[in-house]
Amino acid sequence: MDALPGIVHACCLVLVGALMLVAAFIDAKTRTYPNGLAAALFLVAFIGTLAGKGPGTAMHHALIALVIGVGFLIFELIWRWLRASPGLGIGDIKFIATAAIISPVGALAGCALGLACMALAATARRTRTMPLLPFLAPSCILSFLMLYTS
């Protein structure tokens, strides 16, 4: 029975990675992040963290994820008010906050890498808007792999 939480944690991490890639694909095609997919990703991420790290860490990560999500939301609202144009989408903010449930540091590192890659791609394509999740999802997965395998 002692191995069960570790198995659940590992399975949830694999499923989180798969759901993140599905979200990236959907965002690339439709520029949306469906709420049902966001809820499923949140649930799997929370269950995985709960199984692998325990209830204290899971709640701690959930609280940090809430702070990160609210912080990005406030930044986005101020951005839209000052610039009269959207920056991050609300789906991107939901994705970042959900990723923070697994690892707050990994989510922020993945966010920074994803934004940098998107900026380079947008510059190369000479466009001002691009969907973020196709860059954010692989970046978060990479940062989680680096954190969990080191």
pLDDT at 86: 84
Length of the chain: 150
**Residue 80: in which H helix or E strand, if any?**
helix 55-83
Residues 14 and 141: their CA atoms lie apart, in Å, by 10
Residues 51 and 10: their CA atoms lie apart, in Å, by 9
pLDDT at 107: 97
pLDDT at 3: 79
88-112 pLDDT tens trace: 899 999 999 999 999 999 999 999 9
pLDDT at 123: 94
Alpha carbon 85 to its chain's center: 23
Q: In this structure, which amino acid lies at residue 103? A: S
Residues 47 and 58: their CA atoms lie apart, in Å, by 8
CB contact at 8 A, 14 and 7: no
CB contact at 8 A, 125 and 64: no
3-state DSSP assignment of residue 21: helix
Low-confidence ranges of the chain (pLDDT < 50): none
Residues 6+ apart with CB under 8 A from 19: 37, 40, 41, 44
CB contact at 8 A, 14 and 46: no
